[in-house]
Chains A and B, each alone.
Chain A
Amino acid sequence: MLKAMQKKHRIPSGFIFLLPGLLGFVIFFIWPFVVSLGYAFVDKPINGTFVGFKNFLDLFQNRAYRLGLTNILRFIAISVPLNMALSLGLALLINKIKRYKELFSLAFLAPLVIPSGSMVFFWKALFSYDGAINGFLVNVGIGKVNWLDSGLALLVMVIIFIWKNLGFNMVLYLAGLSNIPRDYYEAAQVDGARPWQAFRHITFAQLAPTSVLVLIMSIINSFKVFKEIYLITGSYPHESIYTLQHFMNNMFSSLNYPRLTTATTVLVLIVVVFTQTLLRLERRASA
């Protein structure tokens, strides 16, 4: 590498394109982030003393943290595959429709633009104990259900997540589908491949980069659904939907910055392993 640089005596042009963005990225994200990492090793944010890895040990012994971590992982495990499957299915369906394609995708994209403030109002009117759904259930003769303060809260959270994110992921899949050359399918038909075989070997394989995109977007958004959930149920919701975000948010409110950065550091490590695995998978799939 060094030799190549010396031979050419010039900086690679790709790097020049990257440089301005990278510079800003380092200044506004990496550097302050690294600076604040130091707090993971002190006991108090102000005049703290070095405590080594004690914060990490404490963190893993913390019931709230473990609950939050398990819950967010469980939520991701349920909602992300579900969301991906649904958006792929919907994209395949819409892909078959000739007319009003834009109209449909527009309808599914609409949730993106509704401000979460008014959405929260809507969800509350729907799911609260005296909400519209319970009104309906009482009229039908089933009786009231405590949607937000029981295990069902997880279901509500999944519904809100899917409602908000299905549309955009579907559009991504639509774009990915239209990128697959038609002759691939024709060739498969000639070879006598069955529909699901063609799906698996052509559609699925060709959609790998899209799927990675959708997957990572879904995970980001599964973190972001916290905003709505927080506005609906507050800092301490039912245990089934107490996520890592709740934990971090509460650490923020109680000024426990060392614990917050410790949790962040652990999250960074988890995400690094996850992202690397994912990128490897992507490379393998598209190779």
Chain B
Amino acid sequence: MVIDVKIVGKGSVHEKLLMGLVGVVALIFLLPLVVTIVNSLMTEKEITWNFTTQLTSFDLIAGIKEKFQQIKLIPQQVSLSQYNDVLLNQPAFLLLLLNSLKIAVPVTFGALIVALLSAYGFTVWKWKYKEIIFTVYIVVMLMPLQAVLVPNYIIADMLHIKANYLAIILPGIFSPFGVFLMRQSMKFIPPAYFEAAHMDGANHWQIFWRVVMPQLKSSIAALCMLVFIEYWNLVEQAVIFIDDYTKEPLSVFLSRMGEGWMGIVFSASCLYMFLPLWFLLLGQKDLEKGIELSGVK
């Protein structure tokens, strides 16, 4: 059942069954997204009602002994009041959104460039011990955040970039994850391609641009997406390095929204994930394209 792709005809019962199965699983995965969007269209009152389980005197009269949180998929009354609250009553929201961009965009571009160059270097460099260096990259990549924070702080202090976005951006750009991902993707490019290009007299820049880059489209899309989302959602580093609350990224603001903010937490989340979601849609096309391209041969 695994190998033969051609046997399954278009629109056969088999495929419909498959689609149904995958569709159900996909719906489960989409559920939290749907819930967030639906809840963002509810009034604060309804949300509070759904997510509080404290008994009121009315419940006691009605004989209700225990209450559970409810996850509803249809709002009683569609309302944009939450968006109104976030966008109009919290003027800081847009400012913070801009701050988030100021961090995530430079990191994404910087990390992409560094990752491509370094990965290419790793691929073409013929040195006996390069794998050792690569291992160091992987080891650092696997370190948990708590282990990296203090070293990060020390270096930011030394370079006098503390309390500055650079303290977050620079380590982000040089983080080993992108190098790892790109190097691993470059392994898919058959060595024959390099040799052929070399024979034709192409130099490294030309090989890099003409041979490697087109092959990596999907990986580049993946890397950009992952790095952007990671730095879009970053909280800990921002908390430690940024002193002024007007310079905080939105993620920090969102992370402090506790139970008391129920009324706007969903609409804020929706607005907040709109950008990554849009990038996902964009990048996903590229992802598919990249897959098709490399699958042609």
* A residues in contact with B213, CB < 8 Å: none
3 A-B pairs closest in CB distance:
A14-B125, A135-B68, A18-B121
The reply to whether the CB of A53 lies closer than 8 angstroms to some CB of chain B is no
Minimum Cβ distance to chain B for residue A168 (Å):
8
* B residues in contact with A261, CB < 8 Å: 147
What 7 additional pairs, Cβ within 8 angstroms, besides A27-B155, A112-B229, A268-B143? A17-B117, A18-B118, A29-B140, A102-B285, A132-B70, A198-B3, A279-B135
Q: Is the CB of B22 within 8 A of A90?
A: yes
* B residues in contact with A220, CB < 8 Å: 141-142, 177
Against A, the Cβ 8 Å flags (1 = close, 0 = not) of B142-156 are 111011111110110
Q: Is the CB of B280 within 8 A of A106?
A: yes
Q: A15-B125, A166-B29 are in contact. Are A171 and B22 (CB under 8 A)?
A: no
Residue of B nearest to A231 (CB): B255
A56-64, A116-124, A233-241 - the one binding chain B: A116-124
* B residues in contact with A117, CB < 8 Å: 251, 254-255, 257, 265, 269
* A residues in contact with B135, CB < 8 Å: 272, 275-276, 279
Judged by DSSP, the binding face of B is helix
* B residues in contact with A95, CB < 8 Å: 5
Q: Is the CB of A252 within 8 A of B149?
A: yes
Roughly how many angstroms separate A150 CA and B196 CA in the complex, as a whole number?
A: 60
Q: Is the CB of A17 within 8 A of B120?
A: yes
Q: Is the CB of B10 within 8 A of A98?
A: yes
Q: Is the CB of B68 within 8 A of A132?
A: yes
Roughly how many angstroms separate A185 CA and B143 CA in the complex, as a whole number?
A: 40
* A residues in contact with B137, CB < 8 Å: 25
* B residues in contact with A267, CB < 8 Å: 142-144, 147
- Residues of B in contact with A, size category: 35 or more
Q: Is the CB of A275 within 8 A of B139?
A: yes
For chain A, the count of residues having a C-beta within 8 Å of the partner chain is 109
Which B106-157 residues have C-beta < 8 A from chain A?
Answer: 114-115, 117-118, 120-128, 131, 133-144, 146-152, 154-155
Roughly how many angstroms separate A249 CA and B285 CA in the complex, as a whole number?
A: 39
The reply to whether the CB of B92 lies closer than 8 angstroms to some CB of chain A is no
The reply to whether the CB of B33 lies closer than 8 angstroms to some CB of chain A is yes
CB < 8 Å neighbour of A29 from B115, B149, B171: B171
The number of residue pairs between A and B whose CB atoms lie closer than 8 Å in the complex comes to: 294
Minimum Cβ distance to chain B for residue A24 (Å):
3
* A residues in contact with B288, CB < 8 Å: 101-102, 105
The reply to whether the CB of A147 lies closer than 8 angstroms to some CB of chain B is no
Minimum Cβ distance to chain B for residue A78 (Å):
18
* B residues in contact with A119, CB < 8 Å: 32
Against B, the Cβ 8 Å flags (1 = close, 0 = not) of A180-219 are 0100010011000001101100110000010011001001
Q: A28-B155, A28-B171 are in contact. Are A18 and B117 (CB under 8 A)?
A: yes
* B residues in contact with A104, CB < 8 Å: 22-23, 26
The reply to whether the CB of B222 lies closer than 8 angstroms to some CB of chain A is yes
Q: Is the CB of B188 within 8 A of A179?
A: yes
CB < 8 Å neighbour of A15 from B121, B179, B265: B121
CB < 8 Å neighbour of B265 from A118, A175, A199, A245: A118
Q: Is the CB of A17 within 8 A of B121?
A: yes
Q: Is the CB of B118 within 8 A of A35?
A: no
Q: Is the CB of B292 within 8 A of A178?
A: yes
Roughly how many angstroms separate A260 CA and B147 CA in the complex, as a whole number?
A: 7
Q: Is the CB of A118 within 8 A of B266?
A: yes
Roughly how many angstroms separate A21 CA and B177 CA in the complex, as a whole number?
A: 12
Minimum Cβ distance to chain A for residue B109 (Å):
14
Minimum Cβ distance to chain A for residue B139 (Å):
5
Roughly how many angstroms separate A105 CA and B221 CA in the complex, as a whole number?
A: 14
Q: Is the CB of A21 within 8 A of B188?
A: no
The reply to whether the CB of B231 lies closer than 8 angstroms to some CB of chain A is no
Q: A110-B29, A132-B71 are in contact. Are A102 and B143 (CB under 8 A)?
A: no
* B residues in contact with A203, CB < 8 Å: 2-3
Q: A28-B174, A36-B154, A220-B142 are in contact. Are A93 and B284 (CB under 8 A)?
A: no
Minimum Cβ distance to chain B for residue A11 (Å):
10
Q: A97-B15, A252-B149 are in contact. Are A109 and B68 (CB under 8 A)?
A: no
Roughly how many angstroms separate A264 CA and B121 CA in the complex, as a whole number?
A: 29
